[in-house]
Amino acid sequence: MALWGGRFEGGVDAFTQEFGASLEVDKNMAQQDIRGSIAHATMLAEQGVISQEDAHAIVAGLTQIANEIEAGTFVWNVDDEDVHMAVERTLTERIGAAGGRLHTGRSRNDQVATDIRLLAKDLCAELIEGNHELRRVLADVAQNNLDVVMPGYTHLQHAQPVLFSHHMLAYFWMFSRDATRLQAAYDAADANPLGAAALAGTTYPLNRARTTELLGFSRTIPNSLDAVSDRDYLLDLEYACAVSMMHLSRLCEEIVLWSSSEFGYITLSDSYSTGSSIMPQKKNPDFAELTRGKTGRVYGDLMALLATCKSLPMAYNKDLQECKEGPIDAARTLGDCMAIMVGMLQTLTVNEDRMLAEAGTGFSAATDVADYLAKRGMPFREAHAVVGHLVLECEKRGCGLEDLTLAELREASELFQEDVVGTLDPAGIARARTTYGGTGNEAVRAQLAEALATL
């Protein structure tokens, strides 16, 4: 008989039992469930609601169960609807009447809310650590390739040369914002619902502030209805995961492109590549692709929870049982993908010469040539047109701006002098962008120091 079976004459059939159960997903929060129960029992005894002897028996019994779960020796019974019932039933079988007093002044509604909040906090903390590691590796890659020049793109067309380190640091800042979002999700979860009971509070003299303290929550939720029905913090977690996956996916897309023979900017290590079952020559960037692909399912997790919570009347509804899998999946997926990215970045080879060679193509010096004329007095708009015509001419001839003679340049404008060659060198072009946040070598060094200071 289920723990709630008193008012029932008939039992549910096997499939109904299975359909209604959440035991499988709940196993992910078994330790949190036991932490919550230990805090509740401790507080009940302090308040004189249960005896100290009962509390000791409960805490000892729960600690033993927690250890067995940790060690993998705990025997789960599929007849238990959820982790709350599995733990309480086992405890009561082992310690008798004291176990039956654990649930005094508590409902599974505030219990599950407590468990998920504790789990969400643990997941956020782990993800923040993973994010930190990823940012450190991005900073390392920037540091180790500080002056490597590559083409900068807009519309995936050559735009202006940039430093590869600058490009890596752009991702550093994206992941910094992700850390802020993960911290916000942590803070949202960091509130204690325990003591709300089923929905209305309870007649027992509970000390909610005490369980808040025992469980390490930073505050106590002030409304019992909200306490049992709020899952916003899981949306915050999933949103943070979704945005961070989006950032990983962008980086993966570049890794896929860069490792193609068309680009050849990087070479992935064998340990982060796979072969083909038919084409012997293949070396595929599967792990970058998989990460890009998994972004879709994390977006799905966020949408699923938004849809599940929509239109739910107050307070607890069984729909909320569906809220757990998505955030756990989103967090695990992001955690795994960050770890894969760390490994991929640590082991890839940067093909410096390839990047530099490409940086000089595609007329990426055109802006600087126009600036050359503008700095010598020609209105920038006019200079833009002059260089535009030179580019057109070069395209017809199949050459680059650097292939034009000084005489040819001077036909377009008398302002061109010998020193124009300096504006055609991609490394020089990047170096000259000295503004704060720009790609100039000194500006990037300052940026890197700023990035490292945030870690």
Structural tokens at position 397: 């001839």
Q: How far is the CB of 316 from ligand ARG (least distance, A)?
A: 5
- CB nearer to ligand ARG: pick between 239 and 316: 316
Q: How far is the CB of 23 from ligand ARG (least distance, A)?
A: 8
Distance CA(222)–CA(220), nearest Å, equals: 6
In the region spanning residues 305 to 364, those forming contacts with ligand ARG, defined by CB under 6 A, are 316, 318, 320-321
Judging by beta carbons within 10 Å of its beta carbon (0-12, 13-18, 19+), is residue 150 exposed, middle or buried?
Answer: buried
Residue position matching structure tokens 């757990």: 324
User: Annotated catalytic sites, by residue?
Assistant: 155, 276
Structural tokens at position 313: 């009347």
Three-state SS across 27-52? HHHHHHHHHHHHHHHHHHHHCCCCCH
- CB nearer to ligand ARG: pick between 22 and 351: 22
Structural tokens at position 36: 């919550």
- Quick one: which of 108, 167, 431, 433 contacts ligand ARG (CB under 6 A)? 108
Which of 106-114, 184-192, 272-280, 366-374 is the region at the interface with ligand ARG (rule: CB under 6 A)?
A: 106-114
Give the number of C-alpha atoms closer than 13 A to the C-alpha of residue 217, restricted to the C-beta side.
Answer: 28
Q: How many residues bind ligand ARG (CB under 6 A)?
A: 9
* Residue 86 interacts with ligand ARG (CB under 6 A): yes or no: no
- Quick one: which of 82, 329, 368, 425 contacts ligand ARG (CB under 6 A)? 82
CA 202, chain centre distance (Å): 38
Distance CA(118)–CA(29), nearest Å, equals: 8
Q: How far is the CB of 87 from ligand ARG (least distance, A)?
A: 12
* Residue 396 interacts with ligand ARG (CB under 6 A): yes or no: no
Characterize the bridge pairing of strands 191-192 and 219-220: parallel
Which of 47-55, 108-116, 133-141, 380-388 is the region at the interface with ligand ARG (rule: CB under 6 A)?
A: 108-116
- CB nearer to ligand ARG: pick between 318 and 396: 318
Judging by beta carbons within 10 Å of its beta carbon (0-12, 13-18, 19+), is residue 427 exposed, middle or buried?
Answer: middle
Q: How far is the CB of 130 from ligand ARG (least distance, A)?
A: 27
- CB nearer to ligand ARG: pick between 108 and 210: 108
Distance CA(375)–CA(377), nearest Å, equals: 6
Q: How far is the CB of 330 from ligand ARG (least distance, A)?
A: 18
Helix (H, G, I), strand (E, B) or coil at 219: strand
* Residue 121 interacts with ligand ARG (CB under 6 A): yes or no: no
Q: How far is the CB of 95 from ligand ARG (least distance, A)?
A: 23
- Quick one: which of 44, 50, 112, 197 contacts ligand ARG (CB under 6 A)? 112
Q: What are phi and psi of 150, to 5 degrees?
A: -135, 165
8 Å CB contact between 61 and 99: yes
* Residue 113 interacts with ligand ARG (CB under 6 A): yes or no: no
- CB nearer to ligand ARG: pick between 82 and 230: 82
- Quick one: which of 37, 42, 92, 109 contacts ligand ARG (CB under 6 A)? 109
- CB nearer to ligand ARG: pick between 112 and 134: 112
Give the number of C-alpha atoms closer than 13 A to the C-alpha of residue 85, restricted to the C-beta side.
Answer: 15
Which residues does residue 325 pair with via DSSP β-bridges, in sequence order?
A: none
Interacting residues with ligand ARG (CB under 6 A): 22, 82, 108-109, 112, 316, 318, 320-321
